[in-house]
Amino acid sequence: MITAEHLTRRYGTRAVVDDVSFTARPGRVTGFLGPNGAGKSTTMRMLTGLTTPTSGRATILGSPFRELANPGRRVGVLLDASAQHAGRTGREVLHLSARLMGLRPGRVEEVLATVGLTTSEAGARTRTYSLGMRQRLGLAHALLGEPEVLILDEPVNGLDPAGIRWMRALLGDFADAGGTVLLSSHLLREVEAVADDLVIIGSGRVVAQGSVEELLATPGTQVHSLDDDSLARALTAAGHEVTRAGAGLTTSATAEEVGRTALGAAVVLTDLRPSAATGLEDLFFDTTAQHGREEAAA
């Protein structure tokens, strides 16, 4: 589990992160979203002990990251895939970390196979790696200690479509096995495909959080009938909002309220269903529009 409690980080009078609180739970993937400059990276650095909060507290598995014994065995972190020793091979980078963590023999080869780095790629200097290969090596490093928690910042950058699909499956399997995943990405459709929960921040503050199902649900009902005009008048008279939606109506009334109103107005219903859920892209822009650079420049 990851817990952020009123995290704040100030530089002078400017609050880069301002009173951020959320929980990422075991067995779930939590998407951590926000525009550039929203404070995502600073928050993740505070979670992993790289930046000290001005105020507030962050814990992972019940303790601050810096207080975890052999933290690589508990928490896998990928914040910057390019932060690799350019003169070492991918295998050497992993072997060094494996020795520091006291891992069993053979673990390096296991994670290399898991992330899909071939024998020749693992034996090449990291300076020759493509961005996608760096991402795979960074994820191998995060998985090396067989952790209970993963904290990943933009892990799919540079991956081709097959690699993105592979990453989605890997994170889903990790969570299904009881692990905790905090995932930051600008690829909203990929986050929507894999995340169970969302935390969205803008200008350093949380602007929305909850389960994907809750946040993307659209209240109201879509209805078609043999007499939409009469049904619309009856629903409006009952105090519900009604708008035209193609060949039918969308209303703020629940399905039960629509059914009772239609019965009272002697209108035959031909279709009745909850309103279609909104997409993550719409939710993201609705909640962060005032915090993005593009909005400021418009």
Give the Cβ contact number of residue 194 at 10 Å. Answer: 22
Query: What is residue 287's DSSP assignment?
Result: H
Q: Is the pTM of this model over 0.85?
A: no
Please name the fold of domain 2-211.
Answer: Rossmann fold (3.40.50)
Question: Which CATH architecture best describes the domain 218-274?
Answer: 2-Layer Sandwich (3.30)
| Neighbouring residues of 283: CB distance < 8 A, sequence distance ≥ 6 | 200, 208, 215, 216
Q: What residue type is 79 in one-letter code?
A: L
Portions of the chain given CATH number 3.40.50.300: 2-211
> What Cα–Cα distance (Å) separates residue 133 from each residue in 136, 166, 184?
5, 14, 19
Portions of the chain given CATH number 3.30.70: 218-274
Helix ranges, 241-297 (H): 255-264, 280-288, 293-297
Give the Cβ contact number of residue 216 at 10 Å. Answer: 17
Alpha-carbon distance 171 to 195, whole Å? 9
Alpha-carbon distance 90 to 136, whole Å? 10
Per-position pLDDT tens, the chain of length 298: 999 999 999 999 999 999 999 999 999 999 999 998 899 999 999 999 999 999 999 999 999 999 999 999 999 999 988 888 889 999 999 999 999 999 998 999 999 999 999 999 999 999 999 999 999 999 999 999 999 999 999 998 888 888 899 999 999 999 999 999 999 988 888 898 899 999 999 999 999 999 988 888 777 788 999 999 999 999 999 999 898 877 788 888 888 999 999 999 999 999 998 776 667 887 888 888 766 555 443 3
Length of the chain: 298
